[in-house]
């Protein structure tokens, strides 16, 4: 007898916060969570310029800089004021400017580490009271395959993502007794607007290293996040799920 397929992610009634949700992977994750029934607080400092048209009953658009602890606290408070709970936090905000070691200033190093790692820490810490009071929750960090293998011209970004993977495992150990599961998704190259700043030569060289021979679509990252957010992810914690088309094995 064939086994029945796993049930689809059902997040009806749950509340999720997604950072870096204005575009790319973050926007795709927010849309997938909403399609699964969650009410979603979409956080991004870019929303100050371009606010999407969304369902006001199920979506909350928040302008916040993830490196500003006061703005992080205000964003979490706004989600709690609207819906009274936070079940899922997706720490997705980040960016990766290509720069050699000699070009990276101390200020730039601190900026990249704070956006890609600090923001995840600030948001995770801010949602802990609500998740603890509720008896559990899910924190999902969007890391990177580069945090596993490193990358030339991206030492600040790769270091920050490696730190995010370490933060994931540390929080998973510390928060498991509270019923809070902490995991990470480590995507390989994804077709997003950010690739527009990468040369064709580098893109083609990277593509040749991927056994599947292509970059991922945003829609191919979101299902792993849905798994970790849903009942199907109830025995995952401290995991780094690699979604890279075989680029990292």
Question: Has 122 been annotated as catalytic?
Answer: no
φ, ψ of residue 58 in degrees (nearest 5): -120, -10
Residue 158, pLDDT above cutoff 50: yes
Domain 15-243 belongs to what architecture?
3-Layer(aba) Sandwich (3.40)
Catalytic residue among 95, 122, 157, 236: 157
Max distance between CA atoms of the chain, in angstroms, equals 61
Tell me the pLDDT band of 237, cut-offs 50, 70 and 90: very high
Mean pLDDT on 215-237 = 96
pTM above 0.85, yes or no: yes
Beta strands in 127-224 (DSSP E): 137-142, 180-187
The distance of Cα 132 from the centroid of its chain, to the nearest Å, equals: 21
> What pLDDT was estimated at residue 7?
52
Tell me the pLDDT band of 2, cut-offs 50, 70 and 90: very low
What percent of the chain stands above pLDDT 90? 81
Mean pLDDT of all residues belonging to the chain: 93
For the stretch 77-91, pLDDT in tens is 999 999 999 999 999
> What pLDDT was estimated at residue 110?
98
Cβ(33)–Cβ(10) under 8 Å? no
218 Cβ contact list (under 8 Å, min separation 6)? 24, 25, 27, 28, 190, 191, 192
Domain boundaries, the chain: 15-243
Q: What is the DSSP string of 45-99?
A: GGGGT------TTTEEEE---TT-HHHHHHHHHHHHHHHS---EEEE--------
Tell me the pLDDT band of 54, cut-offs 50, 70 and 90: confident
Residue 149, pLDDT above cutoff 80: yes
């Amino acid at each position: 007898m064939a086994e029945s397929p796993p049930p689809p992610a059902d997040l009806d009634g749950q509340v999720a916060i997604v950072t870096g949700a204005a575009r790319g992977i973050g926007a795709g994750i927010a849309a997938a969570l909403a399609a699964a029934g969650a009410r979603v607080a979409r956080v991004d400092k870019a929303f100050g310029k371009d606010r999407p048209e969304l369902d006001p009953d199920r979506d909350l658009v928040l302008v916040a800089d993830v490196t500003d602890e006061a703005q992080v606290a205000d964003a979490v408070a706004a989600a709690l004021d609207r819906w009274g709970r936070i079940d899922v936090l997706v720490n997705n905000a980040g960016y990766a400017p290509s720069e050699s070691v000699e070009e990276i200033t101390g200020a730039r190093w601190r900026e990249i580490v704070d956006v890609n790692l600090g923001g995840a820490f600030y948001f995770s810490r801010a949602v802990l009271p609500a998740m603890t009071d509720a008896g559990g929750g899910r924190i999902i960090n969007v890391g990177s395959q580069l945090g596993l293998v490193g990358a030339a011209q991206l030492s600040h970004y790769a270091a920050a993502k490696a730190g995010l993977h370490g933060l994931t495992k540390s929080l998973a150990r510390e928060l498991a007794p509270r019923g809070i599961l902490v995991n990470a998704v480590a995507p390989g190259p994804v077709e997003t607007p950010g690739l527009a700043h990468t040369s064709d030569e580098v893109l083609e060289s990277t593509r040749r290293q991927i056994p599947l021979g292509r970059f991922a679509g945003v829609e191919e990252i979101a299902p792993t996040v849905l798994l970790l957010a849903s009942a199907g992810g109830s025995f995952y914690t401290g995991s780094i799920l690699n979604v890279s088309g075989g680029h990292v094995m």
